[in-house]
Structure formats: structure tokens, C-alpha cells
Homo-oligomer: A and B are copies of this chain.
């Protein structure tokens, strides 16, 4: 109402004048596009011409363009909303600003491709709204973060905003007048970039996925503005930061670590192994891939002399391949460390990752099949390349095989191995801690069939962006449960965590690969050691995924050898999913339930039932997704078999009430847990036929277990016999071994023998 009153004749005249000038300016610049210097960041002048040439003739690109246009047209219809920041993630102002940067970037692209000023005007208007708001903003009112932003509660999200908005700005740069650019740069972009860098060194000057976003945000806008000072900070970090060693962030991660390279290069060097594995795990690698790759693309376009895609032997492109391999049959990432289940290569970050990797990585035709599943492309040169490749029918299936990915800057800090055979996938984690998102689970595993979890890794305790659940942030159970050793399919000794559950200790150590061998298509095998998790106790765990004609489907051998200088209680859980079918041991199901322990995650486990082995083997069968599974494990007299369930001391129902079987071996010094996990048979609820519902194993036996060798024999129900022998002390590939077991001589070369 007030506004209306003020619209006097004079004001109207002034407005019309401005519009006229602005139109003139616009028209000059538009006609002048070819002679300008932008876009140059992600879209390029040449690229845009090329795209326009193919439009209407590249189905997947055309479809993505149409979808983007529909989305942005609807947003333009709704009008611009730039609210005063107030909420945590999930809340209105957070979600709106988040949406705005995505919309900005897309509108910029539409302006370039469609050459329709509607989009340029929209970007301009929104950026000017931000330029008006930003100088008035204090730090965000929510105080939860160690590095509060201005638009968002944390600098991380502010950085997200700038990474996208820089692209939008680049798209309309030439179309704006010098005066307009000056306003945007001086009131918005430069102070914005400085706030998230100089203003927040504890956020910016670090090796961490947060910092990557910060570095890239500053770097992107620097490239657009041709600002060398900001670019230098982005690439190599702030020269001075006044940070002190020992500072921690909200998650308990160290902020300052002496001797690390910082900035974008630092964040490329440190967390990526030479194999492209990112130390926090695939969920955060997925999150980090976008800034890494989009900035790499920008650097490639603006600073080709840096040869960024060749940096560290092409680690960025290797990272895309590693990440795709770190997904199950359905494309969902394995939830190592803090990972939310359901995140997959269908996420937007992976669309750009795949497009970029294809375009700058030698047009690998297997990537086209992933892009085809994603069913959309980025609206730039890389997406066009994909679209043309698909149109020409060049795609080949992306074949996921067994793979071993080293961890650590130099690839010598353990790793993650994935054994694959037919529909089965076994994920073995023997990596470094994984920074602040790491969990305390060395030598842990998870098992998948047909993309479904059979033995699960819990993942994180968080409902990302679901406000009702702790604001969508990490829940306290992430620390008290999800990060704890007992929450994982690995050994807990005396109820304690690996590395006492202390980040300062855990982040100093890593497991070691003992051997990995995928040469025999029927025997995929990996073995690793951990000697620091429990000082005085050495652990060697070997997994073999074996296809054998006496078994319906590939089966897993799990050999966990423990050598200790003291007697301990060993807990080895299997977080199976599904319904128990049968056990060969008797157990008592309790009529009153108590937690299994008081701390280290044990307080979150209900002890539902408990029993003792009835035989030399413990046999445990369950059904999941209408397939049958059987765990057969060698038993000792001191074993207690515990059927547990997650969910005790969970006052807000933050945890999933999933089951576990824990093999507890008491008062034992050196020992080996030898187990086989079979997948067999099926149940059809329509025909009601249960096929092959029983294990094919009649006996499992450790036939030798010395310092030098461990061997396990499997007798099948067909009466046939198999043996797996591991050399415990020599992992060289060409070493000759001879071993007599039960009067039979075994001779082989290399780390293992199976027959």
C-alpha cells in the first residue's frame, strides 16, 4: 500500500528512464555477445554455438533442456523470493535459498542456450535482490555450526550458493553493464567470497569436504571476475589463518593439521588416493565430486595451462570411476562411514560427474550406459557429448567387477575392496579413519545380493533434511551408535571400540592390505590386517567370494584370525536382514529385555535371546527378499550366541530396529572365526514353493591354524570337500608353499590355495 502511494509521476518517469537505459545496454550487449569474454566458465562461447547447432536433434539433451525450461519457467512465474535468513536445514528460508542457487544456475544456462532475455533478466533481478540483502546480513542467527554462514546456518551452504551463482553470473556477465557488474561484485560476490575464506579460515583453510566447497566457491567466482587474489586463495589456501593445532569442528574433526597443503590442490592431494577413493567414503565423495569436477571443468576452460584433469595422474577422472564402482547393482552407494542409504548415481552431482568424465576422460563408452540410466545430462559441452554418444548408439554396459581401491594420499593407507560374482557383492573396509565422517570399524564388511542388503552396514544415524528428526542434522545416536565398532560387522574386543573410539588415535592409523587377488574368476579374495585398533591384539581377516559348482550361488568364506597377548572377550556381529528360518543351536528368548551393555554402542542393543553352540558348527539360516541365506561358523565351547536388536536407549526412535547375530567368544586369547555365508534357493509367495531352502554344507572345519597357515575345509551335502588355505606370513605372489594337512600335501604359489 505504501509503495503504491509513492509511485508519483516523477518516480514513474525515473523508472521508465532506467528501463530504457537498461534496455539499450542490454541490446548493445546482446548483439555484442560474440565479442565479449563470457561465458567462459562452464559454458563457453564455442560450446554454446555447438549446442545451438545440435538442438532438436539430440534426444536426451533436448529432454533435459525441456525439463529445465519447464522448471525455470514455473519458478519465474512464482516470482523471486529472497527471504531474510532464519531457519536450519528443512526450514523455509534454508530451502528457499537452496532452491534459488539451483534456479539461478539453470536460468543462466537457459539464457545462453535459448538466447531469451527473459532468463537473463530473471538472473539479474535475483542477483540484485541478493546484492541488496547481503550487505545487511549479520552471521546467521542459528548458532549450531563451527562456521556460521550468512544466507545459511553454515558456511558450507553459503559456499554451495556461490558455486552455482558464479555460473549464473558468468552466463549473463557480458549482457550486464559494467555498472551492474560493479554493484554485484562489490556488494555481493567479493564480500561473499571473502566472508567464507578470510572471514572463516577454520572453514576454508582445511582439508575437508566443507573446505573443498569453500575453495571452489571462491575459485569459481574468481575465474568469472578474473580476480587473481581470490583464485590464489582458492587454489592454495590462505597464507595466514591464525588457526591453532587441535581445534575441532562440530563433528570432532581436527581443523588444523600441520604440514598439509591447503586450498583446492590440498583438498585434491590429501583425501584422494591414487585410485580415486575419497577417504570419507562414497556418500561424501558424491557430495564433493560436484565442486571438484565443476571447478576442474572451469579451470580447464579458463586456465588450460594448469592441465587440471591430468593432475595427480588423472585422479579426478579416476575418482568418478571409483565412485561408480562404489555403488551396488542398483547404483546406490555403499554407506561406508557416514552415508545415507538410498543416495545413488542418479543424483545430480553424478550426472555432471559422468558427463565430465566422459567428455574429458576419453569418451569411455561404458559411461554412456550410466548416463542413459540417469536419463538426463548437464546442459553444456559435456552433456552434449554424452547426448551425441548415446544418439550414435556408442554405449556399452558399465561392467562392475571386483575392485580394490587404495586409501590415503599415496595409496598406502589401507583401502576398500569389493568382491563381485554374479549378483553378489561383498564390501570390505580396511581403510584409514575417513576424517570426521569416519566410523570405528576396521576390517568390517557388508554383503549385497541383487542390490539388496543381506548383511548390512548401518550407515549414518541421520535423516538428512527431515526437519522433524533433529533438524535433519546428525542425531546424537550417530555418535553413540552408528560410529561405534559394535554397530558394524567386525570384531569388538572386551566391549571396547577400535582405537578406544578416539578420533585422535583412530585418525593416526589405518589397516593394511595383506593381499587382493581377483585373477581367478571363480575365486575373488581379499585379506587385510589391523594391529592398532586394540594394542596387543593382531587381526587378520580374509574374505573369499567363491563360485563353485557344488553350490547354487557364489558363497563367502570369512576367516577372522586373532592373535593377542591376553585373554579377551570377542564379539563378532552379523547384521543380517530378514527373518530367521532355523538355527542348529537352542536359544532362550528372554521374556524381559535388557540392553547388551552400558556403553560403546552396546547400550543400544537389546539382548533378545541367547544360546550355546550345539555342535562344532553354528548354523544360522534366514530369509530375505525371498532368498534363503545360511551362515555356518566354526564354534568353540566358550561361544555364546546372542540374538540382538538395535533400538535400546533410543528415546526418540531415531534408530532402525534391525536384528543381529553376535558370536561372542569368551575368555580366549588366540582364535580364528571361520564362517561361510551361503545364498541359496528361493521362496515364491505366489506359487508358495520353497526351493533349495537348506545349506549345502554338512561340515565346516578349521583344519590347520598356525602362525604360518590357516586352512578351512568345507564338506558339502553332496559329500564333496573343498579347502581354502591362507598363508599368514607371506603374501608374495610368487612364493611357493608346501603344506601337509591330514597327511595330504598341498602345494601352491602365492597367498592362497582353494580347491
Is A722 engaged at the interface, CB distance under 8 Å to the other chain? no
B-contact bits for A641-653, CB 8 A (1 contact / 0 none)? 0010101111111
A134, B472: Cα distance in complex, Å: 68
B-contact bits for A573-603, CB 8 A (1 contact / 0 none)? 0000001111000001101111100000000
B-contact bits for A682-695, CB 8 A (1 contact / 0 none)? 01011111100110
A341, B686: Cα distance in complex, Å: 9
Q: Which of B346, B467, B606, B651 contacts A593 (CB 8 A)?
A: B606
Interface members, chain A 112-138 (any B CB < 8 Å): none
Given contact pairs A472-B690, A580-B653, A690-B90, A683 touches B593 in the complex (Cβ within 8 A):
no
- A342–B686 touching, CB < 8 Å: yes
Copies assembled:
2
* Nearest chain B CB to A18 CB, angstrom units: 38
A131, B114: Cα distance in complex, Å: 82
Is A621 engaged at the interface, CB distance under 8 Å to the other chain? yes
- A469–B581 touching, CB < 8 Å: yes
- A650–B589 touching, CB < 8 Å: yes
A41, B607: Cα distance in complex, Å: 60
B-contact bits for A558-582, CB 8 A (1 contact / 0 none)? 0000000000000000000001111
Q: Which of B464, B581, B652 contacts A468 (CB 8 A)?
A: B581
- A589–B685 touching, CB < 8 Å: no
A649, B593: Cα distance in complex, Å: 11
A463, B622: Cα distance in complex, Å: 12
A595, B592: Cα distance in complex, Å: 7
A706, B567: Cα distance in complex, Å: 73
Is A466 engaged at the interface, CB distance under 8 Å to the other chain? yes
- A686–B346 touching, CB < 8 Å: yes
Residues in B neighbouring A693, C-beta threshold 8 A: 90, 466-468
Residues in B neighbouring A432, C-beta threshold 8 A: none
Residues in B neighbouring A556, C-beta threshold 8 A: none
Q: Which residue of B lies closest to A582 (CB)?
A: B468
Is A347 engaged at the interface, CB distance under 8 Å to the other chain? yes
Is A724 engaged at the interface, CB distance under 8 Å to the other chain? no
Q: Which residue of B lies closest to A95 (CB)?
A: B689
Residues in B neighbouring A652, C-beta threshold 8 A: 589
Given contact pairs A593-B592, A653-B579, A686 touches B466 in the complex (Cβ within 8 A):
no
Is A465 engaged at the interface, CB distance under 8 Å to the other chain? yes
Q: Which residue of B lies closest to A694 (CB)?
A: B468
Residues in B neighbouring A649, C-beta threshold 8 A: 589, 591
Given contact pairs A579-B656, A656-B579, A657-B657, A688 touches B465 in the complex (Cβ within 8 A):
yes
Residues in B neighbouring A686, C-beta threshold 8 A: 342-344, 346-347
A344, B343: Cα distance in complex, Å: 32
- A589–B689 touching, CB < 8 Å: no
Q: Which of B344, B465, B594 contacts A690 (CB 8 A)?
A: B465
Q: Which residue of B lies closest to A691 (CB)?
A: B95
- B690–A467 touching, CB < 8 Å: yes
Residues in B neighbouring A464, C-beta threshold 8 A: 688
Is A154 engaged at the interface, CB distance under 8 Å to the other chain? no
Residues in B neighbouring A624, C-beta threshold 8 A: none
A347, B469: Cα distance in complex, Å: 42
A238, B643: Cα distance in complex, Å: 53
B-contact bits for A442-474, CB 8 A (1 contact / 0 none)? 000000000000000000000111111100100
Q: Which of A464, A468, A608, A689 has the most CB of B within 10 A?
A: A468
Residues in B neighbouring A594, C-beta threshold 8 A: 591-593
Given contact pairs A340-B685, A593-B592, A466 touches B581 in the complex (Cβ within 8 A):
yes
- A589–B651 touching, CB < 8 Å: yes
* Nearest chain B CB to A286 CB, angstrom units: 10
Q: Which of A594, A651, A694 has the most CB of B within 10 A?
A: A651
Q: Which of B469, B657, B659 contacts A645 (CB 8 A)?
A: B657
Residues in B neighbouring A582, C-beta threshold 8 A: 468-469
A100, B690: Cα distance in complex, Å: 17
Residues in B neighbouring A623, C-beta threshold 8 A: 466
Residues in B neighbouring A595, C-beta threshold 8 A: 591
- A468–B621 touching, CB < 8 Å: yes
* Nearest chain B CB to A230 CB, angstrom units: 30
A593, B472: Cα distance in complex, Å: 29
Q: Which of B592, B647, B650 contacts A592 (CB 8 A)?
A: B592
A181, B657: Cα distance in complex, Å: 62
* Nearest chain B CB to A224 CB, angstrom units: 27
Residues in B neighbouring A588, C-beta threshold 8 A: 651
10 A/B residue pairs, CB under 8 Å, sorted by A: A90-B693, A340-B685, A340-B688, A343-B685, A343-B686, A469-B581, A472-B690, A592-B592, A608-B647, A643-B653
Interface contacts beyond A466-B581, A580-B653, A591-B648: sample of 15 additional A-B pairs, CB < 8 Å, sorted by A: A341-B685, A343-B686, A344-B685, A344-B686, A347-B687, A463-B581, A464-B688, A466-B693, A468-B581, A468-B582, A468-B621, A469-B582, A589-B649, A589-B650, A593-B594
- Smallest CB-CB A-B distances: 4 pairs: A342-B685, A593-B593, A468-B582, A580-B653
